[in-house]
Amino acid sequence: MNGFLKGALVVGGGAAGVALLRRTLFPGPRRRYEAWERMPYKDFPNKVLVVGGGFAGYNAVARLCRLARDRDDVGVMLVSRENYFTFWPMLASVIGGDVETKNVAQPLRRTLIRLGASFRRAELEGVDTERQVVKAAGKEFPYDHLVLSLGAEPAYFGIPGVEEYAISIKGIGAGEEICDRVVERYEATTLAGGDVPDSKLTFVIIGGGATGVEVAAELHNLLRELLVPDFPNIPPDRPQIVLIDANKEVLKELDPALRRVAQMRLHDLRIKVINNAKAKEVKSDRVILTDGREITSENVIWTAGARASKKLDDLPFPHHERKGLTLDRYMRVEGYDNVWGIGDCAATIEEDGTPVPPNAQAAVQEGETVARNILAAIDGEELEPFRYQSLGQLVELGSEFAVNEVMGVKFSGQLAAIFWRMTYLYKLESPNSRVRIAADWLLDLFYDPPVTQIRR
Ligand SMILES: Cc1cc2nc3c(=O)[nH]c(=O)nc-3n(C[C@H](O)[C@H](O)[C@H](O)COP(=O)(O)OP(=O)(O)OC[C@H]3O[C@@H](n4cnc5c(N)ncnc54)[C@H](O)[C@@H]3O)c2cc1C
């Protein structure tokens, strides 16, 4: 890594340290009472229940608590499947060892309890709109206002074999699962003295959006850099990475010039990109494309589609299978005054009816607007329509290169990679993760992260 990048990362680490010190010394205004002095959630006259604590739900709860800090009539509870939320933009970095899974998990309890919300780790089972209760983990949680923020999950479009044979980004463990698969193949290849079919060492990523491109670049880092000294019997050029994309160019959501830069970078990393191609079937040892081509591989990673949470099918609310809950422009679920939908499980629309893209920025903004709207509804005031403000897009291709578009400014390369890191470091919720990740990045300048496979 060159001196410029090292210097910039050291400065970045320093900046993160200063930010942490500032937060520690000046933690912001204190609450009027401690969390345990509050009355129980069920006794508040206005109970706001948020189900799903990801980007959208977490921000809705945090904003509500801040706005209602001086009010004793609004109680807030978050019910979520896990007691952390997954900081998805950093998940791919786990594959190349830049970030540890535990730092991608952003704790929900600590901040929210301090802010005055209640938290229950429970999986949603159903909603009784007559009695205004949510059923989760065999219990009932009452609400006056309900916010659904259940996120999305992979969509397989009925393609045979994908669910069975491909690894998909379903949860926080996906980064480690991919890394473990690579190490498993490498250990087996070494044990067999290299006498394994090429399909064992060919890694196919289906989907050329931001996630697919980031996964491919991280795999390059793992296969062609980190593992090379550990597996001297495997020629570094033998493992192959193939990225299959249905579009003419990868990253179709980006500006055309940036797309081409990304395509060139993938070429430099010796990642084979197959454009204008769709998977027809995935088998245990190959991917068959719709044009009849076959790629032999026993390691397929699926990043080609997402849909709103399937849990919506069990709830009594109008929704589109892929896009999610049907909303009005204030984010109320159609036909309900006190049920709201935000994030990837909701088909959010702008004031003029334009669909809002399912991404983290939108989810955060929706969480903040729904908080204001719920308080407005409680107070009988006018609601504000949702207005999405896109701040841009950042895509990292390995730790030393990114393609970014920020408020219309396009840039790529090392500087863009530093910008990517600083932005997401800043956006992490947990100061603890922020410092640990910054420290890991600094350490990586001097030592390659060890790659092991913990078999359970
Ligand atoms: C690998 C990956 C990388 C990404 N990178 C970027 C990026 O770089 N930039 C960007 O803007 N966007 C990115 N995104 C998209 C972004 O992360 C999502 O748009 C965002 O997380 C949506 O927020 P959400 O709150 O709707 O869903 P989530 O953040 O997924 O949260 C959903 C929450 O609901 C909970 N939940 C789900 N079902 C239940 C249930 N039945 N009961 C209780 N709780 C439940 C989950 O545990 C979770 O906490 C990425 C997504 C992925 C998968």
Domain match, 199 and 267 both: yes
Is there a single domain that holds both residue 183 and residue 204?
A: yes
Q: How many domains does the chain have?
A: 3
Query: Which tokens go with 105?
Result: 């998990």
pLDDT, tens only, 396-443: 999 899 999 999 999 999 999 999 999 999 999 999 999 999 999 999
How are beta strands 84-86 and 105-107 bridged, if at all?
antiparallel
Q: Do 90 and 17 belong to one domain?
A: no
Q: Return the best residue to mutate from 311, 359, 425, 426 for the ligand 1 pocket (most ligand atoms within 8 A of CB).
A: 359
Which residues lie closer than 8 Å to 47 by C-beta, 6 or more apart? 41, 75, 77, 142, 143, 144, 145
Written as six digits, the tokens of 24 are 């520690």
For residue 401 the two structure tokens come to 């290169």
Residue 334 token pair:
């159609």
Percent of the chain with pLDDT over 90: 86
pTM: 0.93
Give domain status of residue 332, yes or no. Answer: yes
**pLDDT value at residue 231:** 97
> Which segments within 342-438 are labelled E, that is strand?
346-347, 392-396, 402-406, 409-413
Within 10 angstroms of residue 237's Cβ, the number of other Cβ atoms is 8
Please tell me the residue having the least CA distance from ligand 1 atom 15.
359
Q: Are 18 and 35 in the same domain?
A: no
Structure confidence at residue 342 as a pLDDT band (50, 70, 90): very high
Nearest alpha carbon, ligand 1 atom 11: 360
How many angstroms separate the CA atoms of 224 and 269, rounded? 9
For residues 50-57, average pLDDT: 98
Distance of CA 62 to the CA centre of its chain: 19
Atom number, ligand 1, closest to the C-alpha of residue 174: 1
Per-residue pLDDT, averaged over 228-246, amounts to 97
91 CA from centroid of ligand 1 (Å): 11
Confidence grade of residue 264 (pLDDT, cut at 50, 70, 90): very high
Q: How high does pLDDT run on average in the chain?
A: 93
Residue 293 has a pLDDT of 97
Dist CA 327 CA 388 (whole Å) = 15
Q: How confident is the model at residue 454 (pLDDT cuts 50, 70, 90)?
A: confident
Residues with CB under 6 A from ligand 1: 51-57, 80-82, 85, 88-89, 91, 123-124, 149-151, 169, 210-211, 309, 311, 343-345, 358-361, 363
What the block records as the tokens of 90 is: 């950093």
Q: Which domain holds residue 247?
A: 162-302
Q: What is the mean pLDDT of residues 213-238?
A: 96
At 1, the pLDDT band (50, 70, 90 cuts) reads very low
Q: Residue 386 domain-assigned?
A: no
Indicate whether 111 and 173 sit together in one domain.
Answer: no
Per-residue CA distances from 264 to 248, 271, 392, 404 (Å): 14, 10, 21, 15
Q: pLDDT confidence of 5, banded at 50, 70, 90?
A: low
Task: Name the residue with the closest Cα to ligand 1, atom 8.
Answer: 89
Phi-psi region of 205 (alpha: psi -120 to 50; beta: other; left: phi over 0): beta
Same domain, 319 and 239: no
Is residue 385 in a domain? no
Q: Is residue 221 part of a domain?
A: yes
Please, which pLDDT band fits residue 7 given cuts at 50, 70 and 90?
A: low
383 within domain boundaries:
no
- Strands across the sheet containing 139-142: 124-128, 133-136, 139-142
**Which atom of ligand 1 is nearest the CA belonging to 344?**
26
Distance, CA 225 to ligand 1 centroid (Å)?
30
Task: Inform me whether the pLDDT recorded for 193 exceeds 70.
Answer: yes
Query: Over 70: is that where the pLDDT of 309 sits?
Result: yes
In a domain, 166, yes or no: yes
Using the mean position of ligand 1's atoms as its centre, give its distance from the Cα of residue 434 in Å: 19
Can you tell me which atom of ligand 1 is nearest the CA of 343? 26
Average pLDDT score over residue span 53-67: 97
Same domain, 8 and 51: no
Q: Give the model's pLDDT for residue 12.
A: 59
Position in ligand 1 atom list of the atom nearest CA 53 = 49
Residue 55 Cα to ligand 1 middle (Å): 6
Please tell me whether residues 210 and 339 are part of one structural domain: no
SS3 326: strand
Q: Are residues 278 and 337 in the same domain?
A: no
Q: Which residues contact 235 (CB under 8 A, 6 or more apart)?
A: none
Identify whether residues 370 and 405 lie together within a single domain.
Answer: no
Read off the tokens for 419: 């910008």
**One domain, residues 67 and 174:** no
Q: What is the pLDDT of residue 39?
A: 86
Query: Phi/psi at 7 (nearest 5 deg)?
Result: -60, -45
What residues does 46 pair with on adjacent strands? Answer: 74
Pairing of strands 166-168, 299-302: parallel
pLDDT tens figures, 170-184: 999 999 999 999 999
Closest CA to 396 of 210, 253, 118: 210
CA of 394 to the centre of ligand 1 (A): 17
CATH code, domain carrying 283:
3.50.50.60
* pLDDT bucket at 2, cuts 50 / 70 / 90: low
* CA within 13 Å, CB half, 209: 12
List, in sequence order, every beta strand (DSSP E) within 129-232.
133-136, 139-142, 145-148, 152-154, 166-168, 202-206
pLDDT attached to residue 452? 86
| Domain-terminating residue out of 302, 329, 361 | 302
| pLDDT score for 21 | 57
What Cα–Cα distance (Å) separates residue 275 from each residue in 10, 252, 260, 262, 268? 38, 11, 13, 13, 17
Q: Are residues 132 and 264 in the same domain?
A: no
What is the per-residue pLDDT across 66-125, written as a single tens digit (0 to 9) for each? 999 989 999 999 999 999 999 999 999 999 999 999 999 999 998 899 899 999 999 999
DSSP string, 206-263: E--SHHHHHHHHHHHHIIIIITTTT-TTS-TTSSEEEEE-SSSSS-TTS-HHHHHHHH
